[in-house]
Amino acid sequence: MIKVYTSSVIDAPADQVWAHIRDFNALPSWVPAVADSRIEGGAPSDKVGCVRNFNLKEGGNLREQLLALSDHTCSVTYNILVSPMGVENYVATLRLTAITDGDRTFAEWMAEFNCPPGREQELTDEIGNGVFQAAFDNLKRQLGRR
């Protein structure tokens, strides 16, 4: 089991960041790598158990299932059902915490998964930097105070 942990600070209130990312179908609006997304079966995107089906801009289809959603702790947990990445048992959690000093947001995104031997470093970098940090950087641009 590989663990990836990425955390950042968004210069916007946690309520505002949560409103921006809570929608499990909203990846295209804040994760740069994602081209499009739909919830399978037309379910509401905050129905626990729903599946988002999305495509990457560079090609590749993913299906991810919503395992947990909390408006109480501003967090979302999901797993990967299908992806081109070659990972197994992938479960990730994204969580926001209020920074009272400056009314900002501490954002954490962590994942655990198995992968073929030898691909650990490549996948850790691709997921932790290429996806998670890239998305945080985008949130900073989209929501950060100037």
Contacts of 36 (CB under 8 A, 6+ apart): 28, 54, 55
The closest of 11, 30, 21, 16 to 95, measured between CA atoms, is 21
- Quick check: 100 binds a second copy (CB under 8 A)? yes
- Quick check: 116 binds a second copy (CB under 8 A)? no
* Of the candidate residues 71, 118, 121, 141, the single one contacting a second copy (CB under 8 A): 71
* Of the candidate residues 42, 117, 118, 141, the single one contacting a second copy (CB under 8 A): 117
- Quick check: 42 binds a second copy (CB under 8 A)? no
Please say which residue, 55 or 124, places its beta carbon nearer to a second copy: 124
- Quick check: 7 binds a second copy (CB under 8 A)? yes
The window from 25-33, 34-42, 51-59, 72-80 that contacts a second copy (CB under 8 A) reads 72-80
The window from 29-37, 43-51, 56-64, 80-88 that contacts a second copy (CB under 8 A) reads 43-51
Whole-angstrom Cα distance, residue 43 to residue 59? 25
| 8 A C-beta contact, residue 106 and residue 2 | no
Whole-angstrom Cα distance, residue 57 to residue 34? 6
The closest of 73, 13, 66, 9 to 37, measured between CA atoms, is 66
Whole-angstrom Cα distance, residue 105 to residue 98? 5
| Type and span of the H or E element at 77 | strand 75-82
The window from 25-33, 39-47, 54-62, 80-88 that contacts a second copy (CB under 8 A) reads 39-47
| Footprint of a second copy (CB under 8 A) | 1-3, 5-9, 43-44, 46-49, 67-73, 77, 91, 97-102, 104, 106, 108, 112, 117, 128, 133, 136
